[in-house]
Amino acid sequence: MRIADAQWIPASPHQTWDALIDPVVLQRCLPGCIKVEQRSPTEYGLVIRTKVAGFETDYEGEILLSDVDAPNGCTLAFEGKGLAAGLAIGTAQVSLIPKEEGTRLSYTVAAMAGGKLAELGEPTVMKAGGKIVDKFFGAFIEHMARQPRLAPPPPPPEPEPRGLSNSRWSWAMALAVIVVLVGYHTLFR
């Protein structure tokens, strides 16, 4: 199963990024979400209750972030297991780009299902996955629209230049060493 799309988010990329990695916001916006916990800066655990083709079950899963380039995007790997319905695993590429006084959030999801969930067939699973994604973005966009717009944080200060260009005395010392070496080889050869 593959889903690719983009959404316009009414917030700057840094605000959008901060909300996307906030467990409280995720729990509020993910449909059927019972719990989201951040286990580390790049690992989340979650429990979601969902119904797919008559199978209503809780899925326990985790999300791992990699290739993190905050606030520009990342890669997600996810896995969810439901006792009665099987499992869902996959990856997602997420990209955030400033656009029209907001953020264009584009994503590509590749996922597979196993167990009874897979027996339902890809069209049914795709339809259910699409509904979950649509509900998430509906809630997320609504949440972000209520947030005050904040300026992005200032970039980190440039490191102070180092090396010989930092002081004229450094150049004088380097020149003195060269003169001594040339003089030594000239006089004592």
Question: What confidence tens digit (pLDDT) does each residue in 15-58 have?
Answer: 999 999 999 999 999 999 999 999 999 999 999 998 766 768 88
Tens digits of residue pLDDT in 167-177: 566 666 667 77
pLDDT value at residue 29:
97
pLDDT value at residue 184:
63
CA dihedral 160, 163, 165, 166 (to 10 degrees): 50
pLDDT value at residue 181:
73
pLDDT value at residue 68:
97
Structure tokens at 48: 């979601």
Q: In angstroms, rounded to a whole number, what is the distance separating the alpha carbons of residues 167 and 170? A: 5
pTM: 0.77
Tens digits of residue pLDDT in 54-87: 768 888 999 999 999 999 999 999 999 987 778 8
Order of strands across the sheet that contains 102-114: 2-9, 102-114, 86-99, 73-82, 55-69, 43-52, 33-40
Superfamily name with CATH number, domain 2-146: START domain (3.30.530.20)
pLDDT value at residue 188:
64
